[in-house]
């Protein structure tokens, strides 16, 4: 019997070859009707034999295109329309723009094959892409996702490309960024020192510069990379000096998995992530170091595989591991234009390769590592973000969450969807704040979104909070560490009361002190701080956190009568000691702080005799490198009658223990503490906050909690760090309106 059905398909269904997929499916099952894109997704009407329609439906649901992500299909049976063929109709904009935007996707195997095929018309064309791969978020100005709304709109398709674009059976049917050597963006090489620009053999020239030890830049999907030869120690040294980046590890671009395995030990999970179509930077164990200054004092190395034709090309031409780090000024967002490369990094970069497809929305590389099989995202950006969640919340408000301060992201709630932006940066420079505002504008455009409610942190000095307060709109403020826990409760759809363990860098506490070592009993509406680390004095205030030896001073000062502690305190110069003592005794510039992140700093200061750190997470990384699995010992877990965790005796112990033993015992103790408290509370445990980026700690905690059969949850597809605060803020707003 003939029937007619309509389908409303929501999710990531635009720019991923969904309409041609429906078209081919309709042809396969001899169905007539039409399909088109609209603002809320894809709409189709399909008419034919009932039995064939159900087969169509099965494939629609179960075998969509690789990049598609279906959130919801709404179907209806309607009267017969007597269609005579199947058509793909023009996009229709309707009332709400609510289609999730696809992240940028790495070069697909089909395109790679064509790029390497001498007989293909795109042989050697490094900007090759198709419906399954290439730029998306980074080139979109507004929705619907049509070429006219992207930065490809200025390139007129040649006849051949147009034919492919219009042929539903072609794998580039409606591939909006479609192009070829004839009609696509032009690639150029610029020698800043030599003062010339050329479009002949640009990549070859770049490769030559890299091989000769030059520092170069290469435009990618969401921004420029700084690229140089990782095996050339003096170049890497020079890059460190010029970028004023003394110690933070550089990511390494490996030409292939085989090359990566020459230098690193790679587990199955890590390999899977490296080869995935998101192609993030994966932190793996380094075996035979290229040279120590790439990632000093750590046993980890961030590596990734080429994810665009350009990166494939440069890897093949150079044939060595390359440093490929985001082109930016420290803490600022990634650079997206050649002009900025020249203006801001002209003193660092000797030459660069550019092309004239504009990057509309910047997007950094994503970074992930694994604790056993658990993924820990350090940065959720290219390939993953914007990240959308379909929710069951029915709420009329349009909510904009402004996130935290460091590792800034924003999130929006619009008609049941939550979308998190890619990583923006630390909101500590004018440029970063500008990019933060730009991201808000971008999201407004994408989703036709005018917020009716803002959600932000409680810290009065965060740029995101100050921005919110300037808008003259209803605002909800959410405590930072509670937001960390809420983001993970949202991710795992947890609605009951949990023990939330929120260990972090620094965040504004309800008592106006700095929190960061908190144990909450909380659900989606309320939280109660049941335990906390005993606060210590952060001498010099928030701004002093780079000087980790001062943190150790402050922690050990109350034990100054102990000989070992006194010996440590005597390491400071007389003047310094006097100033720190005064600050301690008179509470001058001494904020109370319960942050576990800062305890890691103090531990590193004591164990490694390190005075300062230059990047976030540095102390943890060094302690992990010292961790010895064979050390089962730990310091005593002591909680006072007010629920405050005592730890001075840990630090006194660390002063006497061997570095490896001290680092291992410190991490073991933190893990034991979580289990100790979890056993008292008998609730599901949710662990959030930047400290849980530490894989060794996470592994140890997982091991101990599993042994006790305690159910626990970690950030899985989102990051445990401040980039997920915006999601936690939205979760709070949705549950408390
Ligand atoms: Zn492709
Ligand atoms: Zn063309
Ligand atoms: Fe935080």
- Residues 615-647: tens digit of each pLDDT: 999 999 999 999 999 999 999 999 999 999 999
Give residue 57 CA to ligand 2 midpoint distance, Å. Answer: 35
Confidence bin at 224 (pLDDT 50/70/90): very high
Burial of 171 (0-12, 13-18, 19+ CB in 10 A): middle
Q: Which ligand is nearest to the CA of 108?
A: 1
Sign of the four-CA dihedral 543, 547, 549, 550: negative
Q: Which ligand is nearest to the CA of 17?
A: 1
Mean pLDDT of 521-534: 98
Give residue 225 CA to ligand 1 midpoint distance, Å. Answer: 22
Among residues 641, 672, 100, the alpha carbon closest in space to that of 384 is found at: 100
Q: pLDDT tens across 702-725, in order? A: 999 999 999 999 999 999 999 999
Max Cα distance, the chain (Å): 94
Indicate the range of 69-73, 531-535, 632-636, 649-653 predicted with least confidence. Answer: 69-73
Give residue 712 CA to ligand 3 midpoint distance, Å. Answer: 19
Q: How many CA atoms lie within 13 A of 513 on its CB side?
A: 19
Two domains, one topology: 2-88 and 534-666: no
pLDDT at position 448:
79
Q: pLDDT tens across 574-588, in order? A: 999 999 999 999 999
CA–CA distance, 341 with 217 (Å, rounded to integer): 8
DSSP line for 696-730: HHHHHHHHHHHHTT--EEE-SSS-SSGGGHHHHHH
Cα angle 272, 273, 277 (rounded to 5 degrees) comes to 100
Q: Which ligand is nearest to the CA of 122?
A: 2
Q: Which ligand is nearest to the CA of 507?
A: 3
Q: pLDDT tens across 416-469, in order? A: 899 999 999 999 999 999 999 999 999 998 887 899 999 999 999 999 999 999
Residue 722 vs residues 63, 379, 538: alpha-carbon distances, Å: 36, 10, 21
Q: Token pair of 439, please?
A: 């991201």
Among residues 615, 100, 152, the alpha carbon closest in space to that of 356 is found at: 152
CATH code of the region 534-666: 1.10.357.160
Give residue 188 CA to ligand 3 midpoint distance, Å. Answer: 42
CA–CA distance, 325 with 228 (Å, rounded to integer): 9
pLDDT at 543 over 70: no
Percent of the chain with pLDDT over 90: 88
Q: pLDDT tens across 344-370, in order? A: 999 999 999 999 999 999 999 999 999
Peptide bond into 386 cis (omega under 30): yes
Give residue 383 CA to ligand 3 midpoint distance, Å. Answer: 24
CA–CA distance, 684 with 703 (Å, rounded to integer): 16
Ion ligand 3 contact residues with beta carbon within 5 A: 504, 507, 722
Strands 527-533, 514-522: pairing is: antiparallel
pLDDT at 289 over 70: no
pLDDT at 146 over 80: yes
CA–CA distance, 524 with 543 (Å, rounded to integer): 33
Which of left, alpha, beta for 82 (phi over 0: left; psi -120 to 50: alpha)? left
pLDDT at position 98:
66
Q: Are 656 and 700 in contact (CB under 8 A)?
A: no
Give residue 690 CA to ligand 3 midpoint distance, Å. Answer: 6
Q: pLDDT tens across 92-115, in order? A: 765 456 677 889 999 999 999 999
CA–CA distance, 359 with 153 (Å, rounded to integer): 13
User: At 170, phi and psi to the nearest 5?
Assistant: -85, 145
Give residue 159 CA to ligand 3 midpoint distance, Å. Answer: 53
Name, in order, each residue with C-beta under 8 angstroms of 288's C-beta and a sequence gap of 6 or more: 262, 263
Strands 69-78, 2-12: pairing is: antiparallel
pLDDT at position 39:
76
Give residue 449 CA to ligand 1 midpoint distance, Å. Answer: 31
Q: Which ligand is nearest to the CA of 307?
A: 1
CA–CA distance, 193 with 385 (Å, rounded to integer): 36
CA dihedral 591, 593, 599, 601 (to 10 degrees): -40
Give residue 270 CA to ligand 1 midpoint distance, Å. Answer: 23
CA–CA distance, 135 with 360 (Å, rounded to integer): 11
pLDDT at position 14:
82
Q: Which ligand is nearest to the CA of 115?
A: 1
Q: Are 147 and 233 in contact (CB under 8 A)?
A: no
Give residue 130 CA to ligand 1 midpoint distance, Å. Answer: 4
Give residue 367 CA to ligand 3 midpoint distance, Å. Answer: 18
pLDDT at position 542:
62
Q: pLDDT tens across 187-222, in order? A: 999 999 999 999 999 999 999 999 999 999 999 999
Q: How many CA atoms lie within 13 A of 69 on its CB side?
A: 12
- 79 CB neighbour count, 10 Å cutoff: 7
Give residue 223 CA to ligand 1 midpoint distance, Å. Answer: 20
Strand order in the sheet with 399-401: 387-390, 417-420, 411-414, 399-401, 453-456, 475-477
Q: How far apart are the first and last CA of the chain?
A: 49
Give residue 265 CA to ligand 1 midpoint distance, Å. Answer: 30
Give residue 133 CA to ligand 1 midpoint distance, Å. Answer: 4
Q: Which ligand is nearest to the CA of 164?
A: 2
Strands 281-286, 300-304: pairing is: antiparallel
Q: pLDDT tens across 20-43, in order? A: 899 999 999 999 999 998 877 899
Q: Token pair of 622, please?
A: 């060094």
CA–CA distance, 523 with 726 (Å, rounded to integer): 17
Q: Which ligand is nearest to the CA of 161?
A: 2
DSSP line for 582-648: HHHHHTTTEEEE--HHHHHHHHHHHHS------STTHHHHHHHHH--TT----PPPEE-TTSEEE-H
Give residue 114 CA to ligand 1 midpoint distance, Å. Answer: 9
Cα angle 688, 403, 144 (rounded to 5 degrees) comes to 115
- What's 573's DSSP letter? -
- What's 105's DSSP letter? B
Give residue 309 CA to ligand 1 midpoint distance, Å. Answer: 10
| Helix extents (H) in 471-617 | 480-491, 548-556, 563-569, 574-586, 596-607
Strands 41-49, 2-12: pairing is: antiparallel
Give residue 161 CA to ligand 1 midpoint distance, Å. Answer: 14
Give residue 312 CA to ligand 2 midpoint distance, Å. Answer: 21
Q: Which ligand is nearest to the CA of 184?
A: 2
Give residue 243 CA to ligand 3 midpoint distance, Å. Answer: 27
User: At 200, phi and psi to the nearest 5?
Assistant: -90, 130
Give residue 597 CA to ligand 3 midpoint distance, Å. Answer: 10
Q: Which ligand is nearest to the CA of 481?
A: 3
Q: Token pair of 168, please?
A: 């539903």
Give residue 183 CA to ligand 2 midpoint distance, Å. Answer: 4
Among residues 264, 276, 253, the alpha carbon closest in space to that of 325 is found at: 253
CA–CA distance, 623 with 298 (Å, rounded to integer): 9
Q: Token pair of 721, please?
A: 């760090």
Q: Which ligand is nearest to the CA of 113?
A: 1
Q: Which ligand is nearest to the CA of 616?
A: 3
- What's 520's DSSP letter? E
Give residue 140 CA to ligand 1 midpoint distance, Å. Answer: 18
Give residue 5 CA to ligand 3 midpoint distance, Å. Answer: 49
CA–CA distance, 546 with 265 (Å, rounded to integer): 32
Burial of 118 (0-12, 13-18, 19+ CB in 10 A): exposed
Mean pLDDT of 500-524: 96
Give residue 376 CA to ligand 2 midpoint distance, Å. Answer: 41
Q: Token pair of 541, please?
A: 């205030």
Locate tokens 């662990």: which residue? 687
Q: Are 419 and 411 in contact (CB under 8 A)?
A: yes
Sign of the four-CA dihedral 440, 444, 449, 450: positive
Q: Is 72 helix (H, G, I), strand (E, B) or coil?
A: strand
> How far from chain centre, in Å, is Cα 550?
31
Give residue 504 CA to ligand 3 midpoint distance, Å. Answer: 5
What are the residue ranges spanned by the domains of the chain?
A: 2-88, 187-367, 534-666
Q: Which ligand is nearest to the CA of 162?
A: 2
Sign of the four-CA dihedral 697, 702, 703, 707: positive
Fold of 187-367: DHBP synthase (3.90.870)
Give residue 157 CA to ligand 2 midpoint distance, Å. Answer: 5
Q: pLDDT tens across 49-99, in order? A: 999 999 999 999 999 998 888 989 999 999 999 999 999 988 776 545 667
Give residue 191 CA to ligand 1 midpoint distance, Å. Answer: 31
Give residue 461 CA to ligand 2 midpoint distance, Å. Answer: 51
* Domain 2-88 in this protein, CATH class: alpha beta
Q: Are 414 and 100 in contact (CB under 8 A)?
A: no
């Amino acid at each position: 019997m003939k029937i007619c059905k309509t389908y409303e398909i929501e999710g990531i269904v635009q720019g991923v070859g969904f309409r041609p997929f429906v078209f081919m499916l309709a042809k396969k099952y001899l169905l007539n009707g039409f399909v088109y894109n609209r603002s809320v997704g894809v709409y189709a009407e399909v008419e034919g034999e009932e039995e064939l329609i159900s087969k169509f439906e099965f494939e629609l649901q179960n075998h969509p295109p690789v990049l598609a992500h279906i959130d919801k299909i709404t179907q209806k049976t309607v009267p017969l329309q007597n269609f005579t063929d199947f058509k793909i109709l023009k996009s229709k904009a309707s009332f709400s723009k609510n289609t999730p935007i696809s992240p940028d996707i790495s070069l697909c195997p089909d395109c790679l094959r064509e790029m390497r095929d001498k007989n293909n018309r795109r042989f050697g064309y490094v900007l090759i892409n198709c419906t399954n791969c290439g730029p998306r978020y980074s080139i979109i100005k507004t929705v619907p996702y049509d070429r006219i709304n992207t930065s490809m709109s200025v390139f007129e398709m040649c006849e051949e490309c147009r034919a492919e674009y219009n042929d539903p059976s072609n794998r580039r049917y409606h591939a909006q960024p479609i192009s070829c050597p004839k009609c696509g963006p032009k690639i150029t090489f610029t020698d800043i020192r030599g003062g010339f620009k050329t479009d002949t053999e640009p990549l070859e020239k770049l490769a030559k510069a890299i091989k000769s030890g030059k520092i170069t830049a290469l435009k990618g999907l969401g921004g420029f990379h700084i690229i140089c030869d990782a095996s050339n120690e003096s170049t890497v040294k020079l890059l460190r000096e010029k970028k004023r980046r003394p110690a933070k590890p550089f990511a390494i671009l490996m030409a292939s998995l085989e090359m990566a395995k020459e230098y690193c030990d790679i587990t199955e999970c890590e390999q899977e992530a490296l080869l995935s179509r998101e192609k993030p930077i994966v932190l793996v164990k380094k075996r035979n170091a290229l040279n120590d200054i790439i990632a000093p004092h750590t046993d980890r190395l961030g590596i990734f595989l080429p994810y665009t034709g350009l990166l494939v090309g440069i890897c093949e031409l150079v044939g060595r591991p390359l440093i490929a780090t985001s082109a930016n000024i420290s803490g600022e967002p990634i650079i997206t234009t050649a002009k900025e490369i020249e203006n801001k990094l002209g003193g660092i970069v000797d030459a660069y390769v550019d092309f004239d497809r504009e990057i509309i929305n910047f997007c950094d590389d994503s970074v992930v590592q694994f604790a056993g099989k658990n993924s820990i995202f350090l940065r959720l950006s290219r390939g993953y973000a914007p990240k959308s969640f379909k929710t069951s919340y029915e709420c009329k408000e349009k909510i904009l969450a402004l996130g935290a301060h460091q590792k800034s992201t924003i999130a929006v709630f619009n008609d049941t969807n939550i979308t998190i932006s890619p990583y923006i940066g630390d909101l500590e420079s004018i440029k970063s704040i500008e990019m933060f505002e730009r991201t808000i504008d971008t999201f407004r455009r994408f989703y036709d979104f005018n917020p009716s409610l803002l959600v932000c942190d409680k810290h009065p000095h965060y740029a995101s909070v100050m921005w919110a307060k300037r808008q003259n709109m209803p605002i909800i403020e959410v405590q930072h560490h509670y937001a960390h826990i809420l983001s993970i409760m949202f991710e795992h759809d947890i609605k009951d009361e949990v023990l939330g363990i929120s260990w972090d860098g620094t965040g504004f506490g309800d008592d106006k002190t700095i929190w960061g070592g908190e144990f909450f009993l909380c659900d989606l509406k309320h939280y109660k701080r049941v335990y906390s680390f005993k606060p210590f004095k952060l001498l010099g205030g928030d701004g002093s956190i780079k000087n980790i030896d001062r943190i150790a001073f402050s922690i050990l000062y109350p034990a100054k009568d102990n000989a070992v502690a006194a010996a440590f305190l005597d390491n400071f110069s007389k003047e310094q000691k006097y100033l720190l003592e005064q600050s301690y005794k008179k509470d001058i510039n001494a904020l109370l702080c319960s942050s576990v992140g800062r305890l890691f700093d103090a531990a590193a200061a004591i164990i490694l005799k390190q005075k300062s750190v230059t990047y976030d997470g540095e102390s943890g990384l060094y302690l992990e490198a010292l961790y010895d699995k064979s050390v089962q010992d730990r310091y005593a877990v002591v909680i006072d009658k007010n629920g405050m965790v005592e730890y001075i005796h840990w630090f006194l112990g660390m002063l006497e223990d061997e570095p490896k033993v001290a680092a291992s015992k410190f991490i073991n103790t933190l893990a034991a503490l979580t289990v100790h408290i979890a056993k008292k509370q008998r609730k599901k445990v949710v662990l959030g906050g930047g400290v849980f980026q530490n894989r060794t700690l996470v592994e140890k905690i997982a091991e101990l909690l599993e042994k006790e059969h305690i159910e626990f949850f970690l950030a899985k597809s989102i990051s445990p760090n401040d980039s997920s605060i915006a999601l936690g803020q939205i979760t709070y707003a949705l549950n408390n309106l």
